[in-house]
Amino acid sequence: MKRRAIYPGSFDPITNGHLDVVERAARLFDEVIVAVAMNIGKEPLFSAKQRREMILPAVRHLPNVSVDSFDTLLVDYATQKEAAAVVRGLRAVSDFEFEFQMALMNRSLAPKVETVFLMPKDCYAYLSSRMIKEIVRLGGSAKGFVPPFVETALQRRLKKGARR
């Protein structure tokens, strides 16, 4: 049986840190679904469709990775996809408490779905979508932190004076 993993997140937008985690997961599992969470509470900068469309070219070189979105409870989505695991990325200690809580809550909701944590390359350990948006909003460059077409989309959307 194929071992499938779900990598869920807001991906608003996808960064090279997320991609580092996707590549690691793609080596560990037969199939990986990068799953864009539609209900993320906070108002996203990009729509779920736009977020999916930015992930697609970034994972094209990985034949066992696909992109989807979901608006249900994560464990229900993972069960529906018959996933063996949910992958999450762990950066600094600051991620730990929230991720630990979520993993244990998910386990109590769906005991068969295991959460697997992967650490990115150290150069991405401080990278977040939120910080990238802040940098571009203030006129800085996100080069090296996001794929080039994501940088273009961010510049278009956020650069001072750009229409939202």
Nearest distance from residue 92's CB to ligand ADP, in Å? Answer: 10
Nearest distance from residue 93's CB to ligand ADP, in Å? Answer: 12
Q: Which of 52, 88, 129, 133 is catalytic?
A: 129
Q: Which of 4, 52, 88, 91 is catalytic?
A: 91
Q: Which is nearer to ligand ADP, 66 or 128 (CB)?
A: 128
- E strands present in the chain: 4-9, 31-37, 65-70, 85-89, 114-118
Q: Which is nearer to ligand ADP, 70 or 161 (CB)?
A: 70
Residue whose C-alpha is closest to residue 158's, from 39, 150, 57 = 150
Indicate if 60 belongs to the active site.
no
Residue whose C-alpha is closest to residue 78's, from 28, 126, 121, 116 = 116
Which amino acid is residue 40, in one-letter code?
Answer: I
CA dist., res. 12 & res. 7, Å (int): 14
Q: Which of 4, 18, 52, 88 is catalytic?
A: 18
Q: Which is nearer to ligand ADP, 52 or 91 (CB)?
A: 91
Indicate if 107 belongs to the active site.
no
97: CB partners within 8 A, 6+ apart: none
Indicate if 18 belongs to the active site.
yes
Which residue ranges make up the site for ligand ADP (CB under 6 A)?
9-11, 15, 17-18, 21, 40, 88-89, 91, 95, 120, 124, 127-129
Q: Which of 27, 42, 60, 163 is catalytic?
A: 42
Indicate if 160 belongs to the active site.
no
Residue whose C-alpha is closest to residue 142's, from 5, 2, 13 = 13
Nearest distance from residue 128's CB to ligand ADP, in Å? Answer: 5
Please give the torsion angle defined by the CA atoms of residues 21, 55, 16 and 44, in that order, rounded to the nearest 10 degrees: -100
- Residues with a catalytic annotation lie at 18, 42, 91, 129
